[in-house]
Structure 1
Amino acid sequence: MKILLVNPNFHSGGPENIVGTLPPLGLLYIGGALMKGGYKDIELIDLCKEEDFSDDNEIGNYIVNKKPDIIFIGGMASTASLPRSIAISNAVKELNNEIKIVLGGTHPTYMYNNILKENSCIDFIIRGEGEIPSIELVNAYDNQLDMESIKNIVWRDKSYENEKIRVNEVSDQIVNLNEYLPAWDLINNWENYRAPTNNEITTTIQFSRGCNHRCNFCGQWMFWKKWHCRSTESIADEIKYLNKEHGVTFFFWADENPAQDQKKWIELLNSLKSINVNNEIHHMLNTRVNHILRDEKHLNLYKEAGIFAIDLGMESPLQQRLDYFNKKTTIELNKLTLDLLKKHDIISIVQVLAGLPDETCETLQETGNIFNEWNPDLMHFYFTTPFLWTEFGQQMKKYIVESDISKWDYRNPILKPHAMSLEELHKICRWLKLAFNFNPKKIASIIQINDDYRRMFLINCLIQSLKYRTGDLEISKYK
């Protein structure tokens, strides 16, 4: 059986300007699971790195000529990339309707009914963690077995005169991350994954899945069910392998909350320190401010482990916003966290959510003023995006003015504030970001950083931001 793993050619800008277009980790985990299940004829097609197609017909021909029996498709930004996944699937089905197409990811996990009703090109949807259902699905299809017993899938039952959409039982089983590992050998050319900010070969890795916190706008804690992680030996061995065999030196962590378990986290940091003897391995990750504060006495260990930059989802410097988002933190703790990272020479990157219905020019200006005072190393504005399976999404349904989900990538306003136009909202956020990141004092402070790596990383981040703003950065016509 020939199996293809297809990453759709969708680019969101934003984080890509810093870390580049990353290997499709979710598909690589599916590939690893299928190999573990005994399937060997598997190929990864990363369309983000194969841009020589003039239209979707050419993409469809390219895929069909591989003669696959079944295709797994889905992008990391599962909502915004969905139109690309659907367009590619339609192109394939027009050429060969016998090829089965499986869709996965957060968006399909919750919006499966709409997707299958509106898109006949999709045969199966996997809900939640995909490793175990993917093996069972391929095995059932390969051996013409009944699909009803496979948990976590939604499928088209064509045994009826008018086919039915069948929603199978959802399992409570959590994947053992020590047993299911990414199929890194499916990547043919690692040179495709060099980051624009440091020219290092880059990948995304995952120590843990899930989060014990309940921010109202986030659906990841629902998707992964509960926080679970690999052993420290497993992730450390993977980093050593990727560094030695593929030359990877820049690791972007996909974890929502890697430091949830302090004992395991400190154990992992010590393992990473032992690997990073020449200081050539660099880690960038997301974490919560309360974990930075908790680990204050270990922040030197963070640096020794190779963690040079931390992306903080602070969301806002306004306490009423933090309370509404259910962040379980305070503006005082946020400020203290930034001070600690600066003290220990760790780059702080702050994400700000803007564009709630009660947003005004005054709240945005106050946000900008406070962050100017707090002085993180980099600041980015993202527009609040109301994913409909979240509490926030349900509350915001009546304020949605952008129905094109390809724009639900945090870079485009989705909600209409009462007191300002979308154009005003977009313009003010872009100006505040520009005024903060390109403040002469900010640039002077970056130039004076003694550490060459951190200094050049920040300078290149600013250069990439300018290129993207002026349109000089190459972004796919399929975005």
Structure 2
Amino acid sequence: MKVLFLDPIHKVWEFFRGLTANPALIYLTAVARRDFNIKVYDAYGETSRPWNKTAEYLAKERPDVVCMPGSLPSFWYDVLNAGRLIREILPEAKIVTGGYISNQLWREGLSSGYLDYIVMGEGEITMMELLKSINSGASDMSQIEGLAYLKDGKPFLTAERAFIDDLDTLPMPAFDLFPMNRYSLAPFGGNIGFTANFSRGCVGRCKFCSETLLWRHCRRGHSAEYMLEVLSTLRYKYNKRVFYIGDDDFLHDPDRIEKFTELAIKTKLDVKMWIQTTCRNVVKHERLLAGLKKAGVYQVMVGIESPKPKALQVLNKPQDFDMVMRALETLKPHEFIIMGMMMWGTPFDTMQDLVDNLEFLNEHCDIIGPDAVTPWPGTPYYDECEKIGAIEVRDLTKYDMTNCITRTAELSAIEADYYYKKTVGKHLMFNKKFLGNYLFSKKPLYRTYVNMFVKMGWSFFTMKPWTQKNYQSFEEFFPEYLAKKASYQMQKTGVLTRTK
């Protein structure tokens, strides 16, 4: 049985402006290749006409099963479109997806006719049981935990799958199956940058967070030895030297981090790392910061969201203003780039709140992550916004934290989005502190960040979104593809003849 792991083309996130391997697929493929003939096709790696080339690849390889990630709301339509294309080319192939947004919209996804199975929750064990069942010709999948599919024509959900206790039992990510030389991330200096994940989940209960929802408010992590092995492989085999560590709270397990720090220093790992954590754990685990700096951590991202108590209460952030200030003061002596994350755009936020948030973060942080709070489907925040009729944008391609989705205290969603982009764009472009640091800061990669944020500010302020050179919309591709296919079939059957 031939199994294809496909990552369809998506619009790249504005904040990163680059390409990296899908973090779910590098794990799933490592497990699947133990027992199956698998291939990977990452449409991100195509420099032009990615939908056309995806169609050509599918027609050439003709896999029996196609597995795709379905994590981000803004990518959901791409998953469905890819399913539609697969149905057109390979009507007998089984189509599988999984991840956060597919788990929230599993009924709609299965009812679309473009998906056969949706893996619910953690994917490795469920996927392997599903592939083995398909390969054996089994028709009853009801005993496979963590799976959704159509049963008697209706969406059906099996029992919940328990999480893997020890993540180190999973094989090393299958980097060798991916086009590693094509991945490039602007904030990290180009193709020397990459992403890595060493834990799953968070114990927090922030109302807007999809991660804590997906992982049921629990957190598991790889060992320090595993972390070192992954980063060493990426550093010395693929020349990746600057990493965004995707762990939701890197400092959650201090013993693990202390051991990792010791190993990284001892082995002279020679990489730079951008981590994210909570204000609370910065203060609680201050003793780890000096070692992390020595091990290569150059940037710490903290979820400040807002200095205002009302906003923190609405978002259920487990911190107050005093905790935020203590965290920022704790970080400063270590000369990290401090990135403060902002959330604005709730139904209770005012126009002045946005100005105040930006001014506060500008005063106390080196870099600002100016997010528009997005009501991720399934989260408590989404439910609360829905209950009061605040959600005014339903297009999931806009659910990416750069667009206002709900009305605010004074503005409609459309008005709020205009105000947000104009205000944030102006702040990013005409920031005296950014300019001063650009000229004189000795912090690694700071100039790279300023360059990127100025460009992002320009696209916000002018309301002209950044153009992704390799992007191709499905709406432009598919009608032309169907027309060419119909013409070819008519020629093949002799209905049409070629003329010179």
What is the TM-score when the length of structure 2 is the normalising length? 0.87
- Pick from 109, 117, 123: which aligns with 1:130? 123
Indicate if the aligned counterparts of 2:311 and 2:349 stay in contact, CA closer than 8 A: no
Counterpart secondary structure, 1:172: coil
Question: What runs of 5+ residues in structure 2 fail to find an aligned partner?
Answer: 475-500
Within-5 A mapping of 1:374-385? 374=364, 376-385=365-374
Corresponding residue for residue 246 of structure 1: 238
Counterpart secondary structure, 1:178: helix
Change (3 A) 1:59 1:190: closer
Change (3 A) 1:91 1:264: same
Within-5 A mapping of 1:212-227? 212-225=203-216, 226-227=218-219
Corresponding residue for residue 236 of structure 1: 228
Q: CA deviation at 1:433?
A: 2.8
Structure 1 stretch displaced more, 458-467 or 83-92: 458-467
Corresponding residue for residue 480 of structure 2: none
Counterpart secondary structure, 1:447: helix
Within-5 A mapping of 1:196-215? 196-197=186-187, 198-215=189-206
Structure 1 stretch displaced more, 20-29 or 197-206: 197-206
Corresponding residue for residue 486 of structure 2: none
Change (3 A) 1:75 1:107: closer
Corresponding residue for residue 167 of structure 2: 177
Partner amino acid for 1:129?
E
- Pick from 229, 235, 257: which aligns with 2:249? 257
Indicate if the aligned counterparts of 2:71 and 2:101 stay in contact, CA closer than 8 A: no
Q: Which has the larger radius of gyration?
A: 2
Q: CA deviation at 1:281?
A: 0.7
Task: Write the deviation string for residues 199-218 of structure 1: whole angstroms up to 9, x where unpaired.
Answer: 24232211111111111111
Q: CA deviation at 1:418?
A: 4.1
Q: CA deviation at 1:319?
A: 1.4
Alpha-carbon RMSD across the aligned residues, in angstroms, is 2.2
Indicate if the aligned counterparts of 1:381 and 1:429 stay in contact, CA closer than 8 A: no
Counterpart secondary structure, 1:154: strand
- Pick from 44, 47, 50: which aligns with 2:43? 47
- Pick from 109, 113, 116: which aligns with 1:115? 109
User: 1-side partners of 2:68 and 2:296: how far apart?
Assistant: 33
Is 1:478 matched up with 2:473?
yes
User: 2-side partners of 1:372 and 1:301: how far apart?
Assistant: 27
Q: CA deviation at 1:336?
A: 2.8
Indicate if the aligned counterparts of 1:464 and 1:473 stay in contact, CA closer than 8 A: no
Counterpart secondary structure, 1:386: coil
What is the TM-score when the length of structure 1 is the normalising length? 0.91
Corresponding residue for residue 25 of structure 1: 23
Change (3 A) 1:455 1:28: closer
Q: CA deviation at 1:394?
A: 0.7
Change (3 A) 1:175 1:22: farther
Indicate if the aligned counterparts of 1:217 and 1:391 stay in contact, CA closer than 8 A: yes
Indicate if the aligned counterparts of 2:349 and 2:409 stay in contact, CA closer than 8 A: yes
Corresponding residue for residue 355 of structure 1: 345
- Report how many residues are paired: 463
Q: CA deviation at 1:80?
A: 1.0
Corresponding residue for residue 91 of structure 2: 97
Q: CA deviation at 1:467?
A: 6.5
Partner amino acid for 1:143?
S
User: 1-side partners of 2:47 and 2:83: how far apart?
Assistant: 17
Is 1:402 matched up with 2:399?
no
Change (3 A) 1:351 1:107: same
Q: CA deviation at 1:193?
A: 1.3
Counterpart secondary structure, 1:116: helix
Q: CA deviation at 1:168?
A: 0.9
Corresponding residue for residue 152 of structure 1: 146
Counterpart secondary structure, 2:355: helix
Partner amino acid for 1:358?
F
